[in-house]
Amino acid sequence: MPPPPLTTLEITNLSASKYSMLYEVRMAIQPTEDKTTDKVHLKLLDPSIKILEGGLGVRSLGDFSFWMCPKLKEVYLPMVETDVESAFYETKIITLEIKDFEGDYGSDWEKVGTRLWNYGKQSLVHLILSDPKVKVMNEESKISCSNNLTKVTLLHVEEVGPCIFYFCSRLCEIQFPKVKELGYNCLDSCNDLEVVNCPSLEVIGSSSFESCLFALKLVLPMVKTVHLAAFYECYDLRHLQLHPEFEIVPYSDGYDPSSVYPSTFDNCYTLQALAASTNFQDHRPHNLGTLSNGIRGYLKWRMTMDVNKEI
């Protein structure tokens, strides 16, 4: 059964609303004994609400002012400029949308990282990059090791560079509709990653999905190029669909060819179906060497049996 829809509480002009101050907004969504009440999505769109101050001012977000509001499921506060960690302590999801990266952040990803940090590790953040001018996130865009980033939506980005989301340990979902290439270690150690929507993805860099422990199914039908260790230690990965003519690149981006590095599917202990061309093992035999010893023979059989199976 799907979860009930969120009830949206939108504040565009606090003075003209039925609430005289933010404290009264908080009281409207305070804890309740009514277990059937829908969860609330709070949108603070009033441009005068920008600061965090001690106490509960009319237009300030006071310390712990929205703390312990179990009905408060999501928060969208694009106008707030300063630290909001204590105001929304333990809030489920805060939406951070970047519509004008240059105008709002001076094209400085460090400021974005700082803002994520200010939301605090007790909250979860959905980052939406909707600025149509941003097509590439490079190494300078790193917001890695975030401990509150739970979902990322990149609406116009076509390339995500190396290590961008490395060790974002609470990242559960990515929506990359136009991304064609993931750089090496891009999503490495995103242990909670479960939902992956990358319909345009063509190139997966080395260790891009390494240690994505809870990814069960990856449907990436356009991927033609896979670099070493791309799916290394994806322990729970059961089904993987790539382009029928995908190819594993032996040595590439960031790896020293003189050294021995983990194989592409090494330690994918539960991998059951790999959609590939029927002659995969015939015209690219060296690629079988990149499969872990434990599943190499099994996958060789599955490739001929399940190549056209929908997974």
Residue 131: inside a domain, yes or no?
no
- Check: pTM over 0.85? Answer yes or no: no
Domain count for the chain: 1
Distance CA 71, CA 28 (A): 10
Given a cut of 50, whether residue 249 has pLDDT beyond it is yes
State the residue range of the domain holding 276: 158-305
pLDDT value of residue 48: 72
Identify the CATH number of the domain in which residue 289 sits: 3.80.10.10
Dist CA 299 CA 295 (whole Å): 6
**Encoding tokens for residue 284?**
């690219």
Q: Let me know if residue 237 belongs to a domain.
A: yes
300 inside domain? yes
Element of type H or E holding 22: helix 22-28
Residue 121 lies in a domain: no
In terms of Cβ atoms closer than 10 Å to its own Cβ (0-12, 13-18, 19+), residue 197 is middle
- 9-22 pLDDT per residue, tens: 888 887 777 776 77
In a domain, 310, yes or no: no
Residue 166 pLDDT > 90, yes or no?
yes
- Write the pLDDT tens digit of every residue in 35-80: 545 678 788 777 776 654 444 444 455 555 666 666 777 777 776 6
**Is the distance from CB of 133 to CB of 98 less than 8 angstroms?**
no
Residue 34 in any domain: the answer is no
Q: Is residue 63 part of a domain?
A: no
List pLDDT tens digits, range 184-207. Answer: 999 999 999 999 999 999 999 989
Evaluate whether residue 211 is within a structural domain: yes
